[in-house]
Amino acid sequence: DAKTTQPTSMDCAEGRAANLPCNHSTISGNEYVYWYRQIHSQGPQYIIHGLKNNETNEMASLIITEDRKSSTLILPHATLRDTAVYYCIVGGYAGGTSYGKLTFGQGTILTVHP
């Protein structure tokens, strides 16, 4: 699986957009980009994933660069409850059967301040 690089920590003011970057320069053409988050003492929670196009759901937006070597997770209006570790993961081969082995890195600790 391709490796990802994320900043160790980020801060964001409540109500502002939180933009979390991720580099995945070795991503292969059929690998997805996934984002999960883990709030303290809880299990990781799926946020969003994408292959090539930008994606949006009720939680966040995912912007993937055209060369697919990096992506940004956007929380449009961060709240205190969004304080968590955010994991960017590459894997799960599109159209194949090798899906399943999502490897979590160290993630980005996002702290939302009042």
Partner 1 sequence: DAGVIQSPRHEVTEMGQEVTLRCKPISGHDYLFWYRQTMMRGLELLIYFNNNVPIDDSGMPEDRFSAKMPNASFSTLKIQPSEPRDSAVYFCASSLGSSGRIYFGEGSWLTVV
Single residue of 4, 18, 24, 34 touching partner 1 by CB under 8 A: 34
Q: How is residue 101 written in tokens? A: 């082995």
Single residue of 5, 46, 80, 113 touching partner 1 by CB under 8 A: 46
Beta strands in the chain (DSSP E): 9-13, 18-23, 31-38, 45-50, 55-56, 61-64, 70-75, 84-93, 108-113
User: Judged by CB under 8 A, does residue 43 bind partner 1?
Assistant: yes
Q: Min. distance of Cβ 19 from partner 1 in angstroms?
A: 22
User: Judged by CB under 8 A, does residue 81 bind partner 1?
Assistant: no
Q: How many CA atoms lie within 13 A of 6 on its CB side?
A: 27
Q: How is residue 32 written in tokens? A: 């997805």
Nearest to partner 1 of 29, 114 (CB atom)? 29
User: Judged by CB under 8 A, does residue 57 bind partner 1?
Assistant: no
Q: Which residues pair with 12 in a beta bridge?
A: 112
Residues near partner 1 (CB under 8 A) are 32, 34, 36, 38, 42-46, 49, 87, 91-92, 97, 99-106
